[in-house]
Amino acid sequence: MFYHVKELQYNAKPTQPDPVYAKKLQEVLGGQFGEISVMIQYLFQGWNCRAEGKYRDMLLDIGTEEIAHVEMLATMIAQLLDGAPAHDQEQAAKDPVIEAVLGGMNPQHAIVSGLGAQPNDSMGYPWNARYTISSGNLLADFRANLNAESQGRLQVVRLYEATTDPGVRDMLSFLIARDTMHQNQWMAAIEELEQTQGVIVPSTFNQEYEKQEVSYSFMNYSQGEESSQGRWAKGPSFDGQSNFEYIQNPKAMGQKPELNPAPPYIHGTPP
Amino acid sequence: MFYHVKELQYNAKPTQPDPVYAKKLQEVLGGQFGEISVMIQYLFQGWNCRAEGKYRDMLLDIGTEEIAHVEMLATMIAQLLDGAPAHDQEQAAKDPVIEAVLGGMNPQHAIVSGLGAQPNDSMGYPWNARYTISSGNLLADFRANLNAESQGRLQVVRLYEATTDPGVRDMLSFLIARDTMHQNQWMAAIEELEQTQGVIVPSTFNQEYEKQEVSYSFMNYSQGEESSQGRWAKGPSFDGQSNFEYIQNPKAMGQKPELNPAPPYIHGTPP
Amino acid sequence: MFYHVKELQYNAKPTQPDPVYAKKLQEVLGGQFGEISVMIQYLFQGWNCRAEGKYRDMLLDIGTEEIAHVEMLATMIAQLLDGAPAHDQEQAAKDPVIEAVLGGMNPQHAIVSGLGAQPNDSMGYPWNARYTISSGNLLADFRANLNAESQGRLQVVRLYEATTDPGVRDMLSFLIARDTMHQNQWMAAIEELEQTQGVIVPSTFNQEYEKQEVSYSFMNYSQGEESSQGRWAKGPSFDGQSNFEYIQNPKAMGQKPELNPAPPYIHGTPP
Amino acid sequence: MFYHVKELQYNAKPTQPDPVYAKKLQEVLGGQFGEISVMIQYLFQGWNCRAEGKYRDMLLDIGTEEIAHVEMLATMIAQLLDGAPAHDQEQAAKDPVIEAVLGGMNPQHAIVSGLGAQPNDSMGYPWNARYTISSGNLLADFRANLNAESQGRLQVVRLYEATTDPGVRDMLSFLIARDTMHQNQWMAAIEELEQTQGVIVPSTFNQEYEKQEVSYSFMNYSQGEESSQGRWAKGPSFDGQSNFEYIQNPKAMGQKPELNPAPPYIHGTPP
Amino acid sequence: MFYHVKELQYNAKPTQPDPVYAKKLQEVLGGQFGEISVMIQYLFQGWNCRAEGKYRDMLLDIGTEEIAHVEMLATMIAQLLDGAPAHDQEQAAKDPVIEAVLGGMNPQHAIVSGLGAQPNDSMGYPWNARYTISSGNLLADFRANLNAESQGRLQVVRLYEATTDPGVRDMLSFLIARDTMHQNQWMAAIEELEQTQGVIVPSTFNQEYEKQEVSYSFMNYSQGEESSQGRWAKGPSFDGQSNFEYIQNPKAMGQKPELNPAPPYIHGTPP
Amino acid sequence: MFYHVKELQYNAKPTQPDPVYAKKLQEVLGGQFGEISVMIQYLFQGWNCRAEGKYRDMLLDIGTEEIAHVEMLATMIAQLLDGAPAHDQEQAAKDPVIEAVLGGMNPQHAIVSGLGAQPNDSMGYPWNARYTISSGNLLADFRANLNAESQGRLQVVRLYEATTDPGVRDMLSFLIARDTMHQNQWMAAIEELEQTQGVIVPSTFNQEYEKQEVSYSFMNYSQGEESSQGRWAKGPSFDGQSNFEYIQNPKAMGQKPELNPAPPYIHGTPP
Ligand SMILES: [Ca+2]
Ligand SMILES: [Ca+2]
Ligand SMILES: [Ca+2]
Ligand SMILES: [Ca+2]
Ligand SMILES: [Ca+2]
Ligand SMILES: [Ca+2]
pLDDT digits (tens, 9 = 90+) for B235-262: 999 999 999 999 999 999 999 999 999 9
Per-residue pLDDT band for D93 (boundaries 50, 70, 90) equals low
Q: Nearest by CB to F92, which of A100, A223, A267?
A: A100
Q: Is the dihedral of CA D252, D255, D260, D262 positive or negative?
A: negative
Mean model confidence pLDDT for chain B: 95
Distance, CA of E96 to CA of F205 (rounded, Å):
33
Angle between helices C166-197 and C19-30 (to 10 degrees): 10
Q: Is C271 exposed, middle or buried (0-12, 13-18, 19+ CB in 10 A)?
A: middle
Distance, CA of D101 to CA of D92 (rounded, Å):
9
Which residues neighbour ligand 2 (ion) by CB within 5 Å? A 57, 61; B 220, 222, 224, 227
Q: What is the pLDDT of residue E88?
A: 66
Q: What is the pLDDT of residue E67?
A: 98
Single out the residue of A71, B92, A154 nearest to residue F108, CA to CA: A154
- CA D211, chain centre distance (Å): 32
Per-residue pLDDT band for B271 (boundaries 50, 70, 90) equals confident
**Residues in chain F closer than 8 A to A155 (CB atoms):** 111-112
What whole-number percentage of chain D has pLDDT above 90?
A: 91
User: What is the rounded radius of gyration, in angstroms, for the C-alpha atoms of chain E?
Assistant: 25
Distance, CA of D256 to CA of F115 (rounded, Å):
48
Residues 6+ apart with CB under 8 A from E72: E8, E9, E10, E12, E171, E175, F254
Distance, CA of D66 to CA of B97 (rounded, Å):
44
Long-range contacts at B65-68 (CB < 8 A, ≥ 24 apart): B65/A219, B65/A221, B65/A250, B65/B9, B65/B178, B65/F2, B66/B35, B66/B38, B66/B39, B66/B42, B67/B2, B67/B39, B67/F2, B67/F67, B68/B8, B68/B9, B68/F1, B68/F2
Q: What is the pLDDT of residue F271?
A: 79
CA distance A106 to chain C (A): 8
Of the listed ranges B26-35, B171-180, C95-104, D154-163, the one predicted with least confidence: C95-104
* E strand segments, chain E: 2-4, 217-219, 245-247
Q: How many CA atoms lie within 13 A of C253 on its CB side?
A: 14
The DSSP bridge partners found for residue A131 are: none
CA distance B82 to chain D (A): 16
Per-residue pLDDT band for D101 (boundaries 50, 70, 90) equals confident
Single out the residue of E229, A195, A230 nearest to residue F53, CA to CA: E229
| Cα diameter, chain A | 73
Amino acid identity for residue A117 in this structure: A
Digit-coded pLDDT (tens) for D61-70: 999 999 999 9
The DSSP bridge partners found for residue C218 are: C246
Q: What is the pLDDT of residue C8?
A: 98
Distance, CA of E119 to CA of E71 (rounded, Å):
11
Distance, CA of E5 to CA of A25 (rounded, Å):
50
Digit-coded pLDDT (tens) for C239-255: 999 999 999 999 999 99
Distance D223 CA to ligand 6 centre (A): 20
Mean pLDDT of B208-219: 98
The pairing of beta strand E217-219 with beta strand E245-247: parallel
Mean model confidence pLDDT for chain A: 95
CB E114 within 8 Å of CB F266: yes
Put simply, the answer to whether E64 touches C2 (Cβ < 8 Å) is yes
Q: What stretches in chain F show pLDDT beneath 50?
A: none
- B and C: number of Cβ contacts within 8 A: 16
Q: What is the pLDDT of residue D92?
A: 66
CATH of domain A19-197: 1.20.1260.10
Whether omega for the bond prior to residue F202 falls within 30 degrees of 0, making it cis, is yes
Amino acid identity for residue B74 in this structure: A
CB B7 within 8 Å of CB A255: yes
CB A25 within 8 Å of CB A104: no
Per-residue pLDDT band for D85 (boundaries 50, 70, 90) equals confident
**Residues in chain D closer than 8 A to A68 (CB atoms):** 1-2
Distance D57 CA to ligand 3 centre (A): 5
Q: Give the ligand whose atoms come closest to the C-alpha of residue F57.
A: 5
Distance C229 CA to ligand 3 centre (A): 10
Q: Is D208 exposed, middle or buried (0-12, 13-18, 19+ CB in 10 A)?
A: exposed
DSSP notation for chain F: -EEE-SS-SS----SS--HHHHHHHTHHHHSTTSHHHHHHHHHHHHHT--S-HHHHHHHHHHHHHHHHHHHHHHHHHHHHTTT-----HHHHHH-HHHHHHHHHS-HHHHHTTSS---SB-TTSPBPBGGG----S-HHHHHHHHHHHHHHHHHHHHHHHHT---HHHHHHHHHHHHHHHHHHHHHHHHHHHHHHHH-SSSSTTS-GGGS-GGGTTEEE--BSS-GGGGSGGGSSB-TTSSSB-EEESS----S----PPPPPGGG-----
Q: What is the pLDDT of residue D89?
A: 63
Q: What stretches in chain E show pLDDT beneath 70?
A: 86-90, 92-93, 96
Q: Nearest by CB to D151, which of C10, C133, C214?
A: C133
Q: Is the dihedral of CA C44, C50, C54, C55 positive or negative?
A: negative
CB A112 within 8 Å of CB C30: no
CB E47 within 8 Å of CB E141: no
Residues 6+ apart with CB under 8 A from C131: C32, C37, C40, C41, D130
Q: Give the ligand whose atoms come closest to the C-alpha of residue E229.
A: 5
Domain positions in chain B are 19-197, 207-247
Put simply, the answer to whether F12 touches E177 (Cβ < 8 Å) is no
**Residues in chain D closer than 8 A to B18 (CB atoms):** 88-89
Distance, CA of F146 to CA of E212 (rounded, Å):
20
Distance C175 CA to ligand 6 centre (A): 27
Give the residue from D89, D138, D201 with the most B CB atoms within 10 Å of its CB, the best one to mutate: D89
Q: Nearest by CB to A199, which of B10, B187, B222?
A: B187
Single out the residue of F147, E192, E136 nearest to residue D269, CA to CA: E136
Distance, CA of A32 to CA of B266 (rounded, Å):
30
Residues 6+ apart with CB under 8 A from F120: B129, F26, F29, F30, F108, F126, F127
Q: What is the pLDDT of residue B87?
A: 64
Distance A221 CA to ligand 1 centre (A): 6
SS3 letters across D202-257: CCCCCHHHCCHHHCCEEECCECCCHHHHCHHHCCECCCCCCECEEECCCCCCCCCC
Distance C3 CA to ligand 6 centre (A): 10
User: What is the rounded radius of gyration, in angstroms, for the C-alpha atoms of chain C?
Assistant: 25
The DSSP bridge partners found for residue B9 are: none
State how far the alpha carbon of F168 is from the alpha carbons of C103, D4, E257, F34, in Å. Answer: 20, 56, 15, 17
State how far the alpha carbon of E74 is from the alpha carbons of A230, C48, C55, D142, in Å. Answer: 59, 7, 17, 31
Q: What stretches in chain C show pLDDT beneath 50?
A: none
Q: Nearest by CB to D261, which of E50, E53, E102?
A: E50
Phi, then psi, of B219 in degrees rounded to 5: -110, 130
CB A87 within 8 Å of CB A98: yes
Distance B220 CA to ligand 2 centre (A): 5
Let me know how long chain E is: 271
Give the residue from A87, A91, A112 with the most C CB atoms within 10 Å of its CB, the best one to mutate: A112
Q: What is the pLDDT of residue C60?
A: 98
Please tell me whether the interface predicted TM-score (ipTM) of this complex is above 0.95: yes
Per-residue pLDDT of chain A (271 residues; tens, 9 = 90+): 999 999 999 999 999 999 999 999 999 999 999 999 999 999 999 999 999 999 999 999 999 999 999 999 999 999 999 988 766 666 666 776 777 777 789 999 999 999 999 999 999 999 999 999 999 999 999 999 999 999 999 999 999 999 999 999 999 999 999 999 999 999 999 999 999 999 999 999 999 999 999 999 999 999 999 999 999 999 999 999 999 999 999 999 999 999 999 999 999 998 7
Put simply, the answer to whether D47 touches A74 (Cβ < 8 Å) is yes
Given phi > 0 = left and psi -120 to 50 = alpha, else beta, which region is A201? beta
Q: Give the ligand whose atoms come closest to the C-alpha of residue F224.
A: 6
CA distance F21 to chain A (A): 16
